[in-house]
């Protein structure tokens, strides 16, 4: 005799509700795009600060790259439970900024220490955030 297995169709009464194979919440933040755009925004803030030092204040230093990351989250619909990476990203970024700025000031001077540490800190923040956005996955 032939064993014919019959998989229930999605509309059958006895089968569970049909689940889409690709849950849009499982799409992580695009790593390269988030990191490169955040670095470009941070570098742009530093260039603008060099061209117009009076326009550069703490709010502006934080607003540009953060607005870009929020835009990426909104555009790519990263699931809110996957934003947890912003916390360790911020901690590592701040540590890299303050420790890196102090170390770089001894090597390249104060003039270059701030911009290099600032861009590096934002790059680290974006990389940690984008990597962490891959977890958790939704339950299938």
**Where do the domains of the chain lie?**
28-132
In contact, 120 and 100? CB cutoff 8 Å = yes
Mean pLDDT is lowest, of 68-77, 88-97, 111-120, 131-140, for 68-77
> Helix, strand or coil for residue 55?
helix
Q: Is the pLDDT of residue 46 over 70?
A: yes
pLDDT for the residue 78: 63
Percent of residues, the chain, with pLDDT higher than 70: 67
Residues 54-102 have pLDDT tens digits of 776 766 777 767 777 777 666 766 666 777 888 899 899 999 999 999 9
Q: At what angle do helices 86-108 and 110-132 cross, to 10 degrees?
A: 160
Q: Which two tokens stand for residue 49?
A: 């600060």
Instruction: For residues 29-47, give the mean pLDDT.
Output: 87
d(CA 66, CA 70): 6
């Amino acid at each position: 005799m032939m064993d014919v297995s019959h998989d229930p169709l999605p509309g059958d009464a006895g089968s569970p509700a049909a689940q889409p194979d690709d849950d849009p919440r499982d799409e992580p933040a695009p790593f390269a795009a988030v990191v490169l755009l955040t670095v470009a925004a941070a570098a742009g803030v530093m260039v603008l600060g060099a061209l117009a030092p009076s326009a550069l204040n703490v709010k502006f230093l934080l607003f540009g790259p953060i607005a870009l990351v929020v835009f990426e989250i909104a555009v790519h619909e990263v699931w809110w439970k996957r934003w947890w990476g912003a916390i360790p990203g911020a901690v590592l970024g701040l540590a890299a900024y303050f420790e890196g700025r102090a170390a770089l000031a001894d090597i390249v001077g104060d003039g270059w220490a701030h911009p290099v540490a600032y861009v590096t800190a934002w790059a680290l923040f974006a990389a940690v955030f984008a990597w962490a956005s891959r977890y958790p996955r939704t339950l299938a």
